[in-house]
Amino acid sequence: MNYCKLPAGVQDILPRECRILTDLKTRLQQKFTACGFQPVLPAALEYYDSYARIRNAVPQEQMFKLTDTDGKLLVLRPDMTLSISRIAATRQGLDHARLCYFADKWELQCGGDLTSREIFQAGVECLGEEGAFSDAQAIAFAAECLKEAGLREFIIDVGHVGYFSGISEECGLSEREAELLRSYVDAKDGLNAERLLEKAGAGKGLRNAILALPTLFGGAEVLDRAAELASNSRSAAAIEHLKRVSALLAEMGYDKCVCFDLGTVKRLSYYSGIVFSGLVKEVGSPLLSGGRYDFLADDFGKHIPAVGFAMGLKRILIALERQGTLPSERKPDVVVCAAGAEAAGYRTFLALASSGRNVSLSPVCGAEEADRLKAEGYTVIYEEGKA
């Protein structure tokens, strides 16, 4: 075995990328703080049962597991939103709060075309908030965060789990069958979706409604078409809610960067209402993902309606690079060449750094190297602080 290599799905972050990630985190943190979000950092290690023995369980094959000294099974944090829900339900005063975080989550399985098992995320959670305006505000803030990250020509793809849930209930599907159908619809697998519906005895109109889901994509006009395809009360309520959110987003000036997609069907037990993703054409997976999850905290003993989203920071860097907007390498304002006068050079270096200058110290740089750096446009200080 080559012990110099890393396991699949993880990687080292080298200086340039680390600097860009740090700058991105700083800009987003300033955005979060300015908009009233308070930082929180959940524990990286939690009990296995906190994720496997709840209604909204994380599949055990997706979690990194290890054994504590007392024999109890632990996991590396596999989901930030569940961690936030646990904190909110078990810590007094956090059931009505706006929280933000920068943290890793770990997924044992790799998924999508950007395979990673250690995922660095930034996210916000609005706890104790309900209604169309709360959802519209979360979507609008997601757009603002993507702008703050430096992305251009992105789209926020918006759906609602209630639309699909209403149709699957009308088909008479069991919870297991509905989840299987959801996976087919999400994968755009119309053949297996139709077979499942036929086996369940769903009528032609309901089958057509399900099979039409991938085509229900576009502007607010899509919502009228969706309303015509499904007549059950739950689907109708979902469409009415999306129409209210759409109107609010238009008033707020975000209609140009939002589209509606009723074919976006995320895991049913997790989300309870609106769902959304941030997309760019240069990357085949979402850079941002979120939605409403009113019943997650119930798993930890308290009902707290909530909406939020998470951003994959490494994916954002990939998108910035492909869009040609990745920040260039930062060069020092001043180079201190200290060959033969190291102590004096260090004092000069420290004084400049303390004043806020971006300075580099080279204890082996002599007169010849100093002249070369000057010719390249650097400001150079050489020998005991003399220019």
Which amino acid, 216? L
Whether residue 3 lies inside any domain: the answer is no
Instruction: State percent of the chain over pLDDT 90.
Output: 54
- pLDDT value of residue 383: 53
Q: Quick one: 377 and 301 in the same domain?
A: no
Q: Is 8 helix (H, G, I), strand (E, B) or coil?
A: coil
36: confidence class by pLDDT, cuts 50, 70, 90: very high
112: confidence class by pLDDT, cuts 50, 70, 90: very low
Say which range, 45-49, 69-73, 193-197, 281-285, has the weakest mean pLDDT: 193-197
Rounded to an integer, what distance in angstroms lies between the CA atom of residue 314 and that of residue 319? 9
- Give Cβ neighbours of residue 269 (< 8 Å, ≥ 6 apart): 55, 56, 179
Whether residue 2 lies inside any domain: the answer is no
267: confidence class by pLDDT, cuts 50, 70, 90: low
Domain boundary among 304, 323, 342: 323
Whether residue 9 lies inside any domain: the answer is no
Read off the CATH number of the domain in which 125 is found.
3.30.930.10
Q: Quick one: 268 and 369 in the same domain?
A: no
For 324-383, write each residue's pLDDT tens digit.
888 877 778 888 887 777 888 788 888 888 888 888 887 777 777 778 888 777 777 865
148: confidence class by pLDDT, cuts 50, 70, 90: very high
Q: Quick one: 306 and 341 in the same domain?
A: no
Whether residue 346 lies inside any domain: the answer is yes
Rounded to an integer, what distance in angstroms lies between the CA atom of residue 49 and that of residue 63? 11
What is the pTM for the complete model shown? Answer: 0.89
- Give Cβ neighbours of residue 231 (< 8 Å, ≥ 6 apart): none
pLDDT reading at 114 higher than 70: no
Q: Quick one: 311 and 362 in the same domain?
A: no
Choice between 262 and 386, residue whose per-residue pLDDT is larger: 262
Q: Quick one: 109 and 204 in the same domain?
A: yes
Choice between 215 and 279, residue whose per-residue pLDDT is larger: 279
Say which range, 35-39, 47-51, 86-90, 210-214, has the weakest mean pLDDT: 210-214
- pLDDT value of residue 387: 42
Which amino acid, 215? T
CA–CA–CA angle 259, 36, 297 (5° rounding)? 75
Helix H or strand E encompassing 83: helix 80-90
- Give Cβ neighbours of residue 361 (< 8 Å, ≥ 6 apart): 336, 338, 345, 346, 349
**Inter-axis angle of helices 161-170 and 204-211, to 10 degrees?**
160
Q: Quick one: 142 and 215 in the same domain?
A: yes
Q: Quick one: 348 and 201 in the same domain?
A: no
Domain boundary among 301, 323, 345: 323
Average pLDDT on 219-234 reads 90
Number of H helices, E strands in the chain: 13, 15
The sign of the torsion formed by the CA atoms of 24, 26, 29, 35 equals: negative
Read off the tokens for 8.
């699949």
- Give Cβ neighbours of residue 120 (< 8 Å, ≥ 6 apart): 21, 102, 103, 104, 312, 313, 314
Q: Quick one: 363 and 228 in the same domain?
A: no
Whether residue 190 lies inside any domain: the answer is yes
Q: Quick one: 354 and 308 in the same domain?
A: no
Whether residue 148 lies inside any domain: the answer is yes
For 151-190, write each residue's pLDDT tens digit.
988 999 999 999 988 988 888 888 788 888 888 887 778 8
201: confidence class by pLDDT, cuts 50, 70, 90: confident
For 72-91, write each residue's pLDDT tens digit.
999 999 999 999 999 999 98
User: What is the Cβ-side half-sphere exposure of residue 49, based on CA atoms within 13 angstroms?
Assistant: 3
Number of domains in the chain: 2
For 227-266, write each residue's pLDDT tens digit.
998 889 999 999 999 999 999 999 999 999 999 999 877 7
270: confidence class by pLDDT, cuts 50, 70, 90: confident
Report DSSP letters for 184-231, one per residue: HHHTT-HHHHHHHHHHHT--HHHHHHHHTGGG-EESTHHHHHHHHH--
**In the beta sheet, which residues pair with residue 127?**
97, 306
Q: Quick one: 220 and 348 in the same domain?
A: no
Domain boundary among 323, 342, 374: 323
Rounded to an integer, what distance in angstroms lies between the CA atom of residue 26 and that of residue 375? 34
What are the C-alpha distances in Å from 338 to residues 115, 175, 335, 356, 382? 45, 72, 9, 20, 6
pLDDT reading at 223 higher than 90: yes
Rounded to an integer, what distance in angstroms lies between the CA atom of residue 224 and that of residue 208? 16
Q: Quick one: 253 and 117 in the same domain?
A: yes
Q: Are 327 and 151 in contact (CB under 8 A)?
A: no
Q: Quick one: 212 and 359 in the same domain?
A: no
Whether residue 328 lies inside any domain: the answer is no
Whether residue 7 lies inside any domain: the answer is no
275, exposed or middle or buried, with CB in 10 Å at 0-12, 13-18, 19+? Answer: buried
For 278-315, write each residue's pLDDT tens digit.
999 999 889 999 999 999 999 999 999 999 999 999 99
- Give Cβ neighbours of residue 355 (< 8 Å, ≥ 6 apart): none
Range of the domain at 47: 15-323
pLDDT reading at 111 higher than 60: no
